[in-house]
Structure 1
Amino acid sequence: MKKTLFLVFLGLALIASAYMAFIYYVPYSTGTRAGELIKISQKGVFFKTWEGEISQGISGAQIFSFSILDDDKEVIEKLNELQGKYVKIKYTERYKTFFIWGDSNYFVTEVVLEKSPHINNR
């Protein structure tokens, strides 16, 4: 009986580990988006996650929400510096997310300051 119970728990642990590895290492899509960085914040009570938003339209009509993993310290610092400016971000979309990673399925991996197309440069 103990051996059967052990094998059941071992099987469940392996399935859960494989599921988490699949969600973390296999991206659904990758891409870039550009817009005005309107929000970057750390939120949560027990598990703090970094969340952000860029406005991709005039007057904030189209908002793109994203998360940043805690391991990406350089990206977090750069986003904090560039808040309110026009940026281009590279992201990875995952199939799902876990509450300890962030609210969004989109995870920013790189951020670059970009020239705004809304400013008339004469």
Structure 2
Amino acid sequence: MGRFVFIVVTVIILILGGIFFYKFYFVFGKGVKAGELNYFVQKGYIFKTYEGKIIQSGYKGQTSGTIQSNEFQFSVTDENIASRLMTASGKVVELHYKEYLGAIPWRGFSPFIVDSIISISDPNQGRNPIP
């Protein structure tokens, strides 16, 4: 009887571990978003995470003849990327991200995690990417 309980408990733990991995560590998608960096901050009570938002403009609105902007909220786990984005507020950025099925507190509030910066440019000076 003890061996049966051990096997059942082990199987349940493995299934729960697999569900946790799939929900929070499986990369669901990858992509690139571009827009004007609205804000980028470090916040959190226990886990200090980097959070940001870019504004993507030029999408057709629901009413004829209108333009609607779209917001993309993201998190950053890499300190080097975070330090570059801290000085890029108001600039046009292109960001490569990974999409997860869920957010975990030590990674950030968003399921979208930026893993690299493609370009940063100043909209007032034209399109000169900063490496």
Bucket of the pairwise TM-score, normalised by the shorter protein:
0.7 to 0.9
What is the Cα deviation at residue 18 of structure 1? 1.6
RMSD: 2.5
Q: Does 1:104 align with 2:121?
A: no
Kindly state the Cα deviation for residue 35 of structure 1 after the two structures are TM-superposed.
0.9
In the TM superposition, what is the alpha-carbon distance from 1:26 to its structure 2 partner? 2.7
TM-score under structure 1 normalisation? 0.76
Alpha-carbon shift at residue 11 of structure 1 (Å): 2.7
Would the alpha carbon gap of residues 39 and 120 (structure 1) be closer, same or farther in structure 2, given more than 3 Å must change?
Answer: closer
- Flag as ranges the 4+ runs of structure 1 deviating above 6 A: none
For residues 10-64 of structure 1, give each alpha carbon's deviation from its aligned partner in whole angstroms, at most 9, with x where no partner exists.
3333223222332344322211111111111122212222210011127x93211
The change in CA–CA distance for 1:41 and 1:115 in structure 2 (over 3 A counts) is closer
Greater share of helix: 1
TM-score by length of 2: 0.71
* Corresponding position: 1:114 with 2:124: no
Aligned residue identity for 2:72: F
**Which amino acid in 2 is paired with 1:80?**
M
- Which structure has greater strand proportion? 2
Name the CA distance, whole Å, in 1 between partners of 2:75 and 2:12.
29
* Bigger Cα Rg: 2
Picking from 92, 96, 101, the partner of 1:86 is 92
The 8 Å contact of residues 24 and 104 in structure 2, kept in 1 or not, is answered as no
Count of equivalent residues = 116
Over 3 Å counting, the alpha-carbon distance change for 1:106 and 1:6 in structure 2 is same
Q: Judging changes above 3 Å, is the alpha-carbon distance between structure 1 residues 44 and 34 closer, same or farther for their aligned structure 2 residues?
A: same
Give the superposition deviation at 1:120. Answer: 8.2
- Between the aligned residues of both structures, percent identity stands at 29
Return the letter of the residue paired with 1:18: G
Q: CA deviation at 1:9?
A: 3.7
Asked if structure 1 preserves the Cα contact closer than 8 Å seen for 2:97 and 2:113, the reply is yes
1:62 alignment counterpart? 70
Inter-partner Cα distance in structure 2 for 1:20 and 1:14:
10
